Amino acid sequence: MTGADEFAPLRITYRTDVATTATNSQEAARIYDDWAEDYERRILSYGYSTPAVAAGFFGRYVAPGAGSVLDAGAGTGMMGQVLAPLGYHDITGIDISENMLKVAREKRVYRDLRRMELGRRLDFPDHTFAAVVSTGVFAAGHAPPESLTELVRVSRPGGCVIFSVRTDVYVEGGFRDRQDALEREGKWRLLQTSEPFSHLRYEDPGLKVRIFAYRVR
C-alpha cells in the first residue's frame, strides 16, 4: 500500500485506538508499543502542536533551574525535546508504553524514564517535583481524570501542573469536575487556561484541546 492510502489506517488508529478498541491498560500499552517506531513522524505530519503551546505556558510559570520536572505520559519524548533547549534539564518521564520510552531514551534529554500508568498511584514520594507537564494523555480512552490527584500529590507546594485536555472529554469525561474539586479542596489554584485550539490541524481541525496551568498549594 503506497501513497495517501498508506496513511489512512494509522490516521484512524490514532483517533480511535484506545477509545474504541483498548479495553484495559495492557491493551493500550500494546497498541502504543506497536506504533512507537513511527508514531512521532506521523503525528507531527498531522500538525501536532500541543507540546509547543504547553512549552509557552511552562516557560511563563516555571523557571529553568526551579527543580525536577515530571513529564507524565512522555511517549516518545517530544515534550522533553522541546523543554531541554529552553534550559530544563532535570526531567523525568513516565509512560505506559515501554517501546515509546525506548524512543524517548534515544533523545538523551531525560534524566530518568520509567514505565508507569496514569490513573494508578505513581511510584514517587509526595512533593517530588517542582513542576509537572502532561500533554496528549487526557483524551477519550486514555488517562482518567483521577490522574490529576496523583500529579498534585507528587508536586511540591508552590509548583506548577501544566497539562492538556481534549475539549470533547473536558466536561463529559469528568475533567472539569475533578479540576474544580481539587481547587475547592485547596489543592491547587488556576493560573491560566488557553483558548481551545486544533492540535492536529492537518488531520482533524475540528478536534481541539485546551492547556491548563495550576499552582499547587
* Cell 520536572, residue located: 69
Indicate the fold that domain 50-216 takes in CATH. Rossmann fold (3.40.50)
CA pair distance 173, 157, nearest whole angstrom? 27
Among 62, 86, 83, 61, smallest CA distance to 74 is for: 83
Those residues whose C-beta lies under 8 Å from the C-beta of residue 182, and which sit 6 or more positions away, are 148, 149, 152, 188, 214
Strand partners, 161: 132, 214
Amino acid 28: pLDDT: 67
- pLDDT of 118 reads 96
Q: What is the pLDDT of residues 177-208, one digit of tens each?
A: 999 999 999 999 999 999 999 999 998 999 99
Region class of 98: left (phi > 0), else alpha (psi between -120 and 50), else beta: alpha
Pick the closest to residue 74 from 38, 112, 37, 47 (CA basis): 112
Question: Considering Cα of 7, then 12, then 18, then 22, what sign does the dihedral take?
Answer: negative
What is the DSSP code string of 61-118? H--TTS--EEEET-TTTHHHHHHGGGT---EEEEES-HHHHHHHHHH---SEEEE--B
At 104, list the grid cell. 524517548
pTM: predicted TM-score of the whole model, two decimal places = 0.88
Mind listing the pLDDT tens digit of every residue in the chain (217 residues)? 333 333 333 333 443 334 334 555 566 677 777 878 888 989 999 999 999 999 999 999 999 999 999 999 999 999 999 999 999 999 999 999 999 999 999 999 999 999 999 999 999 999 999 999 999 999 988 899 999 999 999 999 999 999 999 999 999 999 999 999 999 999 999 999 999 999 999 989 999 999 999 999 9
Rounded to an integer, what distance in angstroms lies between the CA atom of residue 181 and that of residue 145? 11
pLDDT of residue 25: 59
CA–CA separation, 138 and 175 (whole Å): 8
Question: Which pLDDT value is given to residue 140?
Answer: 84
pLDDT value, residue 12: 36
Give me the residue spans of the domains in the chain. 50-216
Neighbours of 75 (CB within 10 A): 26
